[in-house]
Amino acid sequence: MLANELGRRGIRCLIVDSKPGTAFNPQANATQARTMEHYRRHGFAQEVRTQGLPADHPTDIAYLTRFAGIELARLRLPTAAAAPEAIKHMSGSWSAAELPHRVSQKFVEVVLREHAQSWPSIDLRYGWQLQSFQDTGQGIEATVQPVGGTEAQAVQVRAAYMVGADGARSMVRAQLGISWEGATGFKRNFMGGRMLAVYLRAPDFYKYNPNDRAWMYVVVNPQLRAFIMSVDGQGEMAFHIQMKDDEATEALTEADAKYWFNQAYGKSYREATGHDMAIEILSMATWTAGHALVAQRFQEGRVFLGGDAAHLFTPTGGLGYNTAVEDAVNLGWKLAHVLRGAAPASLLDTYAYERKLLATRNTGYARGLADSVGLFDADPHLEDDSPEGVAARAVADEYLNGHVRREFNIPGITFGGRYDGSPIIVSDGTHPPADEPNVYIPSACPGGRPPHAWLPDGTSLYDLFNFEWTLLVLGETQALSAQPFETAAAALGLDLKVVHQAGTELQALYQAPLALIRPDQIVAWRGDGSQEASSILRQVVGSEFGVL
């Protein structure tokens, strides 16, 4: 994503990734609506939305005693085919250009890679790794080499900046001596401790499953806790099971994975066929749930950290990869402005401030969601055909129907991230709405996402925004001149587009006739006069006010 941000702006950069190509494993499975809006900004949201599940495949989340057992709770959500139209009729918390998309990261990475590669300034090398680097103060000197290659194949690279987006075990973070803050090691019935991840093919999954199709199935059961997500809607799935402390997860075999899969599935298949369901294992690995970690620092001199190198999540809420995308979106325009000479280097210091704020917020939300589902005790009678079983299921039904909405209807988390207190946000003294995970109140209070609107002709307001800066001129007051902003932007070398929207609705939504939108679609300033245009523009690119 960072390569897309930089490539579109013509910034030369080299990306090395030690993997031979994009992810083989499904990895993250939810692209949040805000991430989809960023993909829309780049023009490939619809392309991403065609990836993964068939367009008409349900994207529901269901909680059950077993995958083919008794259903306890369900959240029904629009299919990929229905989503673009559905969002046009939603309002309030879901005033947005895009709905989320349930798709495995492995498919999204291919789209991102293809677009990144299309920019002439991008040199993208899979199968190459960073061996060493040094920040000389004037720039970065690094050695990169093909994986498994010889020293003779090593290449010396000089760059103005470097970004360590090298994952949870980041060698860049380690070399900089940056440690984690936050909390880890949470133990829960589910989503706390060792998990076994199995990427598998089970074409018979739906055949003997009496429940409506879902995208994600979560097993709540006194014997085991697990979840499975459909990767392609044809039987390719990502299966994750909570292991108990006494199970030696590193020594688990494919036979163990097949056993656990069938336990999680339930007995309907065995009863119908006389044998366990055969599955093909594509890969398996263990991972640890229970992190809520944020790097102490996101920057050291000319080196930045982003993605899992900077924050580690428990995947409840599906926030790890989405937070990583927003890191790239935030850093991309800042690097480009500094490298082009349109902003001082101190603009880059705001990356750490703004993104650490959001990483801390989002890991906290994910931790709360993990507690919400993971500390729920499955009653020993949950599967019983008895009055105790009925009573236990009624309790689970009520609790889990509440939980599924807490975890999977999160417009507040998705749209409500804010950069309050950042020196490049011009506060107007107003207070933003309260930060709540499940409610988003559109507000143009500087520091947050601009309120979205569908225009009378069906266009998204966001589609009128510039890739760089946008000045919204709202309402009937044509006397308001954007000229001082245009003049000041030209003097500073900023690419500013003025968007006039007459009519009072948008002005009421923004509670001001003027609003300045950053390249990453954040309100930088709003007001009712352009007298201070030069000083405002200087502040939002970090020229007027010093380093944090």
Contact positions toward ligand FAD, by CB under 6 A? Answer: 16-19, 25, 27-29, 105, 129-130, 165-167, 171, 197, 287, 307-309, 315, 318-321, 324
Contact 159, 335 (CB under 8 A): no
| Shortest spacing between CB 197 and ligand FAD, in angstroms | 5
Toward ligand FAD, which CB reaches closer, 35 or 189? 35
Nearest approach, Cβ of 317 to ligand FAD (angstroms)? 8
What distance in Å separates the CA atoms of residue 449 and residue 416, rounded to the nearest whole number?
Answer: 7
Minimum distance, C-beta of residue 542 to ligand FAD, in the bound complex (Å): 25
**Is the Cβ of residue 20 or residue 137 nearer to ligand FAD in the bound state?**
20
Cα-flanking dihedrals φ and ψ of residue 79, to 5°? -75, 170
Nearer to ligand FAD, 307 or 411 (CB): 307
CB of 445 to ligand FAD, least distance (A): 28
- Closest to 520 measured CA to CA, from 419, 435, 441: 419
Please count the other Cβ atoms lying within 10 Å of the Cβ belonging to residue 541: 24
CB atoms under 10 Å from CB of 490, counted, come to 11
Question: Please, which residue, 27 or 346, has the CB nearer to ligand FAD?
Answer: 27
- Residue pair 265/277 in contact (Cβ under 8 Å)? The answer is yes
Cβ-based nearer residue to ligand FAD, 90 or 284? 284
The minimum distance between CB 379 and ligand FAD, in angstroms, equals 27
| CB of 176 or CB of 494, closer to ligand FAD | 176
d(C-alpha 57, C-alpha 51), whole Å: 12
Answer for the pair 333, 468: CB distance below 8 angstroms, yes or no.
yes
> Does the CA dihedral 108-111-113-116 come out positive or negative?
negative
How far is 103 from 423, CA to CA, in rounded Å?
A: 36
CB of 431: closest distance to ligand FAD in angstroms? 30
Q: Concatenate the DSSP letters of all residues of 226-261 into one string.
A: EEEEESSSSSEEEEEEEPPTTS-GGG--HHHHHHHH
Cα dihedral 132, 135, 139, 140, rounded to 10, equals: 10
Q: Closest separation between CB of residue 319 and ligand FAD, Å? A: 6
- What one-letter code names the amino acid at 209? N
In angstroms, what is the minimal distance from the CB of 517 to ligand FAD? 27
Q: In whole angstroms, how close is the CB of 27 to ligand FAD at the nearest point?
A: 4
Question: CB nearest ligand FAD: which residue?
Answer: 307
Question: Is 187 in a helix, a strand, or coil?
Answer: coil
Q: How far apart are CA 70 and CA 400, in angstroms?
A: 13
Residue among 130 and 524 whose Cβ is closer to ligand FAD:
130
Contact 133, 162 (CB under 8 A): yes
Structure tokens at 222: 């006194």
Nearer to ligand FAD, 27 or 263 (CB): 27
- Confirm if 443 and 417 have CB atoms less than 8 A apart: no
Closest CA to 289 of 186, 216, 361: 186
- Compute the Cα dihedral for 524, 529, 535, 537 and give only its sign: positive
Q: Which helix (H) or strand (E) holds 83?
A: helix 83-86
Which residue's CB is nearer to ligand FAD, number 101 or number 526?
101
Kindly state the smallest distance separating residue 185's Cβ from ligand FAD, in Å.
18
- Nearer of residues 69 and 318 to ligand FAD, judged by Cβ: 318
The nearer residue to ligand FAD, 197 or 375, going by C-beta atoms, is 197
What residue has token string 């309050």? Answer: 420
CA distances (Å), 115 to each of 42, 146, 300, in order?
A: 9, 23, 29
Please name the residues in contact with 394: beta carbons below 8 A apart, sequence gap of 6 or more. Answer: none
Q: How far is the CB of 485 from ligand FAD (least distance, A)?
A: 36
Taking the C-alpha atoms of residue 151 and residue 165, their distance in angstroms, rounded to an integer, is: 24
Give the residue with the Cβ less far from ligand FAD, 320 or 423.
Answer: 320
- Decide if 69 contacts 112 (C-beta within 8 A): no
Compare residues 99 and 523 and give the one whose CB is closer to ligand FAD.
99
Distance from C-alpha of 424 to C-alpha of 543, rounded to nearest angstrom: 9
Cβ 305 to ligand FAD, closest distance in Å?
A: 9
Min dist. Cβ of residue 310 to ligand FAD (A): 8
Q: Tell me how far, at minimum, the Cβ of 17 lies from ligand FAD, in Å.
A: 5
CA distance 394 to 389: 9
Question: Between residues 25 and 401, which has the closer beta carbon with respect to ligand FAD?
Answer: 25
Residue 358: its H or E element: helix 349-374
